């Protein structure tokens, strides 16, 4: 499958492995090791996941040349602001046992994200990150950031799966050259996605599972997807999507599954803003 080319020309694998909610560090290390064995070359972590060190250990032990693997991580709300972001970045590099990141993201559209962005611009210009971006930015904040910055975000990592397709946001992102990265591409297993009749019917035609159909549907649209699993066979299954293509009818049938609203994270509410501001972590 073709890589995803970002607005600055940097290329990211279109399919990666995510490690959110893998709190057991041995399990995280095993998961990353399996993913690398299966051929994944993009690993997505975050300061607030508390598992950057395990990801770094797995990468070191895999002994794959650093330039052949892309690593993305994120700065959390409490670390925002210019100085805090630089400090968090240094810890992230130390944990991941590397001297640069491929992609560095602002995790939430809250707090002093303008200050964080100034830090990200500097890190990018110093060559310490290959690309910079944001997560969970809705159109108003995305445009605000673009209009008040030297460098526009290259990526917006957003909740994106068949039940939440983010059509309006993706249109704005496309107009601004901001690439979509799908978090919870498998809807975190919610709403019975793995037993969904439409996905099962499509999958049967190709000898593929609903998970593989969804990941193919995303990547075929040029959307980077970063599914998480702690099970070796599922990690392999999720990567095994390069040998089939969905036709126009399949794509249309999956598009019709959209509910138009977030299933997992509604960032645009006082409840979520309050809840997320309350989450702290040690790096």
For binding to ligand NAP (CB under 6 A), which residues are involved?
18-21, 44, 107, 135-136, 157, 183-189, 194, 211, 226-231, 234, 237-238
Backbone angles phi, psi at 180, to 5 degrees: -85, 140
Nearer to ligand NAP, 123 or 134 (CB): 134
Closest CB 58 distance from ligand NAP, rounded Å? 14
| Cβ proximity to ligand NAP, 110 vs 194, nearer residue | 194
* Residues forming a β-bridge with 73: 104
Q: Cα separation of 156 and 180, whole Å?
A: 5
82 is catalytic: no
Which tokens go with 98?
């590397």
User: Contact at 8 Å (CB) between 158 and 108?
Assistant: no
Nearer to ligand NAP, 52 or 57 (CB): 52
Please tell me the distance from the alpha carbon of residue 124 to that of residue 100, in angstroms, as a whole number.
Answer: 10
Nearest approach in angstroms of CB 212 to ligand NAP is 7
At closest approach, how far in Å is the CB of 75 from ligand NAP? 11
Please identify, using beta-carbon distances, which residue of 98 and 209 lies nearer to ligand NAP.
209
Nearest distance, CB of residue 134 and ligand NAP, angstroms: 9
User: What percent helix, strand, coil does the chain show, rounded to 5?
Assistant: 50, 15, 35
Closest CA to 7 of 155, 128, 122, 124: 155
Distance between CA atoms of residues 69 and 67, nearest Å: 6
Q: Which pair of structure tokens corresponds to residue 280?
A: 């702290």
Task: Quickly list H helices, 39-138.
Answer: 52-62, 82-96, 113-125
- Number of other residues whose CB lies within 10 A of the CB of residue 243: 11
Give 195 or 248: the residue with its C-beta nearer to ligand NAP: 195
Residue nearest to ligand NAP (CB): 18
Active-site hit among 49, 104, 113, 124: 49
CB 214 within 8 A of CB 185: yes
List, by residue number, the catalytic residues.
49
């Amino acid at each position: 499958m073709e890589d995803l080319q970002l607005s600055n020309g940097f290329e990211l694998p279109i399919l990666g492995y995510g490690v959110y909610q893998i709190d057991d560090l041995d399990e995280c290390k095993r998961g990353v090791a399996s993913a690398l064995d299966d051929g994944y070359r993009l690993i997505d972590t975050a300061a607030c996941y508390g598992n950057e060190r395990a990801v770094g250990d797995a990468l070191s032990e895999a002994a794959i040349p650093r330039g052949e693997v892309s690593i993305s991580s994120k700065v959390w709300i409490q670390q925002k602001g210019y100085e805090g972001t630089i400090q968090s970045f240094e810890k992230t590099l130390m944990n991941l046992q590397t001297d640069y990141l491929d992609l560095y993201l602002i995790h939430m559209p809250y707090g002093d994200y303008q200050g964080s962005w100034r830090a990200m611009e500097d890190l990018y210009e110093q060559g310490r990150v290959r690309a910079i971006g944001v997560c969970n930015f809705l159109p108003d904040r995305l445009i605000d950031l673009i209009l008040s910055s030297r460098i526009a975000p290259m990526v917006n990592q957003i909740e994106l799966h068949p039940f939440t397709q983010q059509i309006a946001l993706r249109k704005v992102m496309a107009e601004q050259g901001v690439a979509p990265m799908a978090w919870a591409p498998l809807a975190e297993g919610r709403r019975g996605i793995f037993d969904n009749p439409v996905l099962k019917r499509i999958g049967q035609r190709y000898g593929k599972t609903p998970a593989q159909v969804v990941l193919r549907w995303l990547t075929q649209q040029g959307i980077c997807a970063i599914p998480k699993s702690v099970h070796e066979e599922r990690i392999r299954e999720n990567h095994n999507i390069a040998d089939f293509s969905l036709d126009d009818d399949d794509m249309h049938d999956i598009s019709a599954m959209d509910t138009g609203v977030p299933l997992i994270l509604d960032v645009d509410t006082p409840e979520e803003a309050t809840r997320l501001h309350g989450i702290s972590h040690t790096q």
